[in-house]
Amino acid sequence: MQHGGDLSKAVQTYAIEKWKWMDLSTGVNPNGYAIERLPQSCFEKLPDSQELTALAEAARRAYQVPDTQGLIAAPGSEFLIQALPQTRSLSKVAILGPTFSSHEAGWRRYGHQVRLISQLDEIDDETVVVIVNPNNPDGRVLKPGQIKKLAGELLKRGGLLVIDEAFVDVMPEVSFVPKEPLENVVILRSIGKFFGLAGVRLGFAVGPNRLLDPLRESLGAWAVSGPAIAIGTEVLNDRDWQEQTRSVLRLQARQHRDVYEGYGVKIVGGTPLFQLIEVDDARKVHHELAKRAVWTRLFDYNTNWLRVGLCKTQTDLRQFADRLETVLRLSQKAA
């Protein structure tokens, strides 16, 4: 599984109708922002500069972007992950992992020399470092002091620090965007996870304009669709929804952790949008849950890890708990 969310594969493999599935394989908010209506004009005409400016201003306010920093909108943070390696000459790249696999794939695709590291002190002479903060899949969080020190060390050798903050909206205090602006840091943001709008394909890059300008050139004209601009502007301006949703997600996450703890399942880490659990045979547990129409996220680099997202309703959570209990009981008998 390169990514979660490919439910069509589960439907085909297990011959279970799509509507019956509980898709917990992603870290996307299952109760995302409800888009009630969009102006017809956003479908009929090309986006104009005023609309793009309104979107950028909404993002700057929501993310607390300092005036000295630039911001660009893109058709999803995945686009930016793939575009960034094309803006750098061939470099040695260190990626703090295990983490979201697209970063490694993107830098390797464009010829860079990539090394995965598990601790910051393993960085050697790399001139590009990529971190995901909070991390996917284990929720690891780096402190601002660690990030500032790392950026300073990279700056001495003309290096770049990339921070992927795709999951930071659920814990905004972790974001490095409002902190002291640094001249060699690019930060990626997304509305897909927290707002539950992964299909909109809208993301942002924040950083010095000298680093963002090559990305702007790669985007070309009208990279972000009219509907995405309208939706992004609306959701980023809705601060009440954001605050309420953070509280709800924290409560939901606690309820999910209670299920795992009640069954003696070890929680390795996570965020309010997902939990990473450890079981004896993750592939077997994943398979047995799938037979019961529950789709989870496997990892090829760890045979004991499963990442599990949030259930949409309390009824779903009870059903998931029952199915998990059954699967764990089967695993214990097999052992």
String of DSSP letters for 261-283: HHTT-EEEEEETTEEEEE-S-HH
Q: How far apart are the first and last CA of the chain?
A: 26
For residues 304 and 325, give the distance between their C-alpha atoms in angstroms, rounded to a whole number.
Answer: 17
> For residue 2, what pLDDT is reported?
66
3-state secondary structure at position 309: strand
**E strand intervals along the chain:** 22-23, 70-74, 92-96, 113-117, 128-132, 160-164, 185-190, 203-207, 266-271, 274-278, 294-295, 297-298, 305-309
For residues 207 and 71, give the distance between their C-alpha atoms in angstroms, rounded to a whole number.
Answer: 7
For residues 293 and 290, give the distance between their C-alpha atoms in angstroms, rounded to a whole number.
Answer: 5
- Residue segments in the chain with a per-residue pLDDT below the cut of 70: 1-2, 335
Cross-strand partners of 113: 92
Are the C-beta atoms of 328 and 292 separated by less than 8 Å?
Answer: no
Report the half-sphere exposure of 197 (CA within 13 A, side-chain side): 23
Q: The whole model's pTM is what?
A: 0.96
* CB-based contacts of 209, cutoff 8 Å, min separation 6: 70
**What helix, strand, coil percent values describe the chain, rounded to 5?**
45, 15, 35
> For residue 1, what pLDDT is reported?
57
The tokens of 332 are what?
A: 């214990």
Task: Express as a percent the part of the chain with pLDDT over 90.
Answer: 95
DSSP secondary structure string for all residues of 233-264: HHHHH-HHHHHHHHHHHHHHHHHHHHHHHHTT
* CB-based contacts of 11, cutoff 8 Å, min separation 6: 17, 18, 21
- Tell me whether domains 7-25+241-334 and 46-237 share a fold: no
Query: Length of the chain, please?
Result: 335
> For residue 6, what pLDDT is reported?
80
For residues 152 and 83, give the distance between their C-alpha atoms in angstroms, rounded to a whole number.
Answer: 24
Q: In the chain, what are the domain boundaries?
A: 7-25+241-334, 46-237
Identify the architecture of domain 7-25+241-334 in CATH.
Answer: Alpha-Beta Complex (3.90)
Backbone angles phi, psi at 46, to 5 degrees: -70, 145
What is the CATH code for 46-237? 3.40.640.10
Backbone angles phi, psi at 242, to 5 degrees: -60, -45
> For residue 334, what pLDDT is reported?
72
Arithmetic mean of pLDDT over the chain:
96
- Please report the sign of the dihedral spanned by the C-alpha atoms of residue 317, residue 319, residue 323, residue 326: positive
> Parallel, antiparallel, or unpaired for β 185-190 and 160-164?
parallel
